[in-house]
A and B are shown apart, each in its own frame.
Chain A
Amino acid sequence: MRIFWLISVLGAVLSLRGVFANDTHTNNWAVLVCTSRFWFNYRHMANVLSMYRTVKRLGIPDSQIILMLSDDVACNSRNLFPGSVFNNADRAIDLYGASVEVDYKGYEVTVENFIRLLTDRWSKDQPKSKRLLTDENSNIFIYMTGHGGEDFLKFQDAEEISSYDIADAFAQMHEKKRYNEIFFMIDTCQANTMYSKFYSPNVLAVGSSRLDESSYSHHSDVEIGVAVIDRFTYYTLEFMESIEKNSTLTLQDLFDSYTFDKVHSHVGVRTDLYERDPSKVLVTDFFGSVQNIVLDDIDQADNAYEDSQESQESSDLPDHILQLAIEKSRDEVTSKKNESKVHIRKATLVDYEDSIAEMSKVSHHKMLLEVRVFLIFMGLLIVYYYSRKR
């Protein structure tokens, strides 16, 4: 049954591919997830914070980054450098400064919240800073790290997310046109299995190790006493340090920089769902936020303003929208107010009727259930009396 739906969705999706193959994006988002907790998983926290620093440096604002950290290693009592997180033994860069905004922390990092985040299914009171408010022109960079296995990723020691869940979430995002392109990067053991089940278009994925392969940490810091960065992320960062906002390096360059000698595991890339050629995609398309700023040099404004300055009263032929608006507002303030009041009243009336209809239906349901239970009870009583008589 699942395959049938898969095929039908795939068919529907393929038919729509032509329409949504949008090469241009206008905003960039990043979702950075660290799924493991405890002190000895320091390196996962450092991985994610390094990525956070990179995307911020290249211009993505905090309001468009969702950072999920499942544990707080900076303030862990075992941290010899309280308040700091380092990703290198030379401790040159402190990743945890004053401007780190963690959106999901501690036990809020759960599978359910992650899926809800991707599909934007929240209750009404979820704050905007914790939602992924993307649209069809958004490029999303999703980075996940932690402990993983075949087709699953462990969240917080107690639950797992399967690759099917992420694939389904992406499908829902595609349905609602919530992304232009997604770049999915994952650094765990057997990471490549996590992207093997994707079926939505315009998703580019890279994972750090194959099936039955582990991903390794790079080095430890003898003062802190734990490993501070993973190999795959270390070499990704090495590449990223050479990128500025105006860089012309492409994603293919990034993929080529991973070798088995460096990473000690086979890095996998999935490009079949992605329309563009990675060698033509700039790294800043996903990691940075580059705006196409346009100069507006039409100087009509000056004339209009000066004209209005010269004539105290409005001329009989205004040619600037502001003049028009000012004129109109002088004439028609009161009538507009009345109109909108009527509309508001009408809208509320409609709502009220609906809610009444709802409530009656619900109570109807409940009543049926009670009747049934009562009937069963009566039946059992009858049996009991009958047997007693005999």
Chain B
Amino acid sequence: MALIEKLQRRIIDLGLLPRLIASLPRLSLVCAMVGICWLTVFIPMEGQYRRTYISENALMPSQAYSYFRETEWNILRGYRTQVQLLQSVGPHQRNEEISAWLQEFGVKTATFVNEEGKETLYGILNAPRGDGTEAMVLAAPWFNGDDEANIGGTALTISLARFFNRWPVWSKNIILVFSEDANATLRSWVEAYHTSLDLTGGSIESAVVLDYPGANDFFKYVEIYYAGLNGELPNLDMVNIAVHITEHEGMKVSLNGIPEEQLDQDDFYSKLKTLMRGVKFMALAGARKVYGNEAFSGWRIQSITLRARGEEGPFDITTFGRIPEAIFRSVNNLLEKFHQSFFFYLLLAPRYFVSIATYLPAAIALSVSFTLASLNNLLNNSYSSASLLSLYNIWGLLALSVALAISYIIAQLLAYAQHPQLLVLSSFVVSFIPILLKNVKIMAPFAYRCRAFAYLYLSIILTSLLVVNFALAFSIGTLAFPMTLVKNSVTSKLRLKNCLLLLLSNPFISIWIFGNLVDDQLGGIQMFYGFISAWKNLGCWTWFIICIGWLPAWLLVAYSSIATSSISIVDESQIEAVKHKKTL
């Protein structure tokens, strides 16, 4: 006890506490900087990341020889030709035809029609010697995420199914899925499988989506996509075995859409690039093009998408087919669900990763910076001595709830009546409040309190989001950071500054700018359509988090940037002391 007393005395002597409080704004800025630099500068440095390894000993990837080779090529070509011919007929007829092919070699098939009328054909290969309680999915949408006809992928799936049928080693059932597209249809199938379908094959352990557009026999390299919706990632073991097997067969792996020329680079910038692209893909999952593995998120299914890219190259389609064969052989060895390796990680390269313990400080720092900003607004002004239940606090909370309500209405409204342009415009207008409402005055304590609550609220949101969806938390934290710099608009210079900051930190404008700068697919308004359709079709919450997490805070800050009038506040505790002295 004496030690702590000594420490306390030291602290008081040095006046540490008041100094800390005084420097809160600076601290907040520093924290945010630390958070951003942690991810972008610190992690890709040598020594901070680890080499990937297979945690689950039972997987043993590539230990068994893969036999999907030249013997299957002709069969594959045959199916491919037939599939090409089926491109011209309607989906229903197409599915019937393929269903007949599958039934020829013993697959039980069924068709699922979702709410929009789109059909999904699926079949179940029952493991002859297994106990049939678990299943592995091999999916090939007819039209892939780029809206190209997935001719190679579907032909490969059919011939792989026929190949698997002749092997007695399966301990899990194999489910083949042919959905119309890789997007809403596949997702609705997954949902229906877990709720209403009659023909099922047990709980799904893993899913591999094959994407091989075109009828070319040869390809150059393989892209692997693993980011799921809402920040869910497949178990690192799943990605690792996919990478291991692909490289074992000789092909190069591209993660997160890194173009082919940059695949061989192995320096700081390539790692940083892969890392940041990964973060972007995770944050924008659902809004961007969906390649199929996102459809399986939310059901504890480890899913990845394999895309064959390039037209001429040393590898042929059967080489590509060996990847799912070996993955299935590996996953087949498992007795338990994936549990050994990480569920939260960031990949810096096909063979390098960081786990959550290493990258989490980035988002924590951002969240802390918001808290510090909130404290700053609470303590660093003359109204800090107001009691907890004073009017200002209650009004602040009320304002927060009002902002929440407004945001919710906006979110729902836009989900149904999609006019994102209107949204952006109105955001623009609201950002100029400090200038427009020059003559309206609000009381200073309200301003401080509103801001404090806003930042506190955003900090809570970010903290809750940290672990589950790191990318989204990090992105929101970075993009919303300018709003912490808003101060009371007392001078016109400050007012201008506030406008700018509000503009920068508005959710919609900021996303619009970000989309235009960073992503080629989601330029401009597309982003909003993307988010909204992700919410409606895929169940992705990003839209709602932005609206309900970010927007209320921004609204409060916008409100607080209206010109303020300062008042004096009576110190109630002092009055008490005076009273007491009088009685004594």
User: Judging by beta carbons under 8 Å apart, are A77 and B171 in contact?
Assistant: yes
In the docked arrangement, what's the CA distance between A222 and B326, Å?
Answer: 12
Query: CB-defined interface of B37-79 with A at 8 Å, one 1/0 digit per residue?
Result: 0000000000000000000011010011100000000000000
Residues from chain B with Cβ under 8 Å of A220 in the complex: 63
Give the chain B neighbours of A226 by CB distance below 8 A: 60, 63
* B333 sits at the interface (CB 8 A): yes
B130 proximity list for chain A (CB < 8 A): 77
Interface residues of A in 24-53 (CB under 8 A from B): 38-40
* Cβ proximity bits B476-520 to A, threshold 8 Å, 1 near / 0 not: 000000000000000000000000000000000000000000000
List which A47-88 residues lie within 8 A (CB) of chain B. 76-80, 82
The A-B contact count (CB < 8 A) is 44
Q: Is B335 part of the contact surface with A, judged by Cβ < 8 Å?
A: yes
Chain A min CB distance to B62 (Å): 9
Residues of chain A lying within 8 A (CB to CB) of residue B63: 220, 222, 225-226
Q: Does A223 reach chain B (CB closer than 8 Å)?
A: yes
Task: Tell whether, in the assembled complex, residue B127 and residue A225 are in contact, meaning their CB atoms are under 8 Å apart.
Answer: no
Q: Is B169 an interface residue (CB 8 A)?
A: yes
Q: In the complex, what's the smallest C-beta–C-beta distance from B424 to chain A, in angstroms?
A: 56
The residue in chain B whose Cβ has the minimal distance to the Cβ of A80 is: B169
- Please tell me the number of chain A residues within 8 Å of chain B, measured between CB atoms: 15
Contact A38 B129 (CB under 8 A): no
Q: Is A281 part of the binding interface, using a Cβ–Cβ cutoff of 8 Å? A: no
A222 and B67 CA atoms in complex are apart in Å by 11
Chain A's closest residue to B65 (CB) is A222
In the complex the two chains form, what is the Cα distance from A223 to B329 in whole Å? 11
Residues of A with C-beta under 8 A to B329: 225
How many positions in chain B have a CB within 8 Å of any CB in the partner chain?
19
Q: Does B370 contact A (CB under 8 A)?
A: no
Q: Answer yes or no: B90 CB below 8 A from chain A CBs.
A: no
Interface SS of chain B: loop
CA distance A79 to B169 in the complex (A): 6
- For chain A, what secondary structure do more than half of its interface residues adopt (helix, strand, loop), or is it mixed? loop
Q: Give the chain A neighbours of B57 by CB distance below 8 A.
A: 40
A39 to B59, CA, bound (A): 10
B225 contacts chain A at the CB level, 8 A cutoff: no
A224 at the interface (CB under 8 A from B): yes
- Given A78-B169, A78-B171, also A223-B60 (CB < 8 A): no
Point out the residues of chain B lying under 8 angstroms from A80, CB to CB: 167-169
Residues of chain A within 8 A of B335, CB atoms compared? 38-39
- How far, in whole Å, are A225 and B334 apart by their CA atoms in the complex? 13
- Report the minimum CB–CB distance from B542 to chain A (whole Å): 40
Residue of A nearest to B336 (CB): A38
Give B67 Cβ to nearest chain A Cβ, in Å. Answer: 9
Instruction: Name the CB-closest residue of A to B332.
Output: A78
Residues of B within 8 A of A224 (CB): 64
Contact status B169-A77, CB under 8 Å: yes
CB contact between A222 and one of B64, B131, B167 (< 8 Å): that residue: B64
Residues of A near B127 (CB, < 8 A) are: 77
**B contact set with A: CB distance below 8 Å:** 57-58, 60, 63-65, 127, 129-131, 167-171, 329, 332-333, 335
Contacts A77-B170, A225-B333 known; 20 new A-B pairs at CB < 8 A = A38-B58, A39-B58, A39-B335, A40-B57, A40-B60, A77-B129, A77-B131, A77-B168, A78-B169, A78-B333, A80-B167, A80-B169, A82-B129, A82-B168, A222-B64, A222-B65, A223-B65, A225-B60, A225-B63, A225-B329
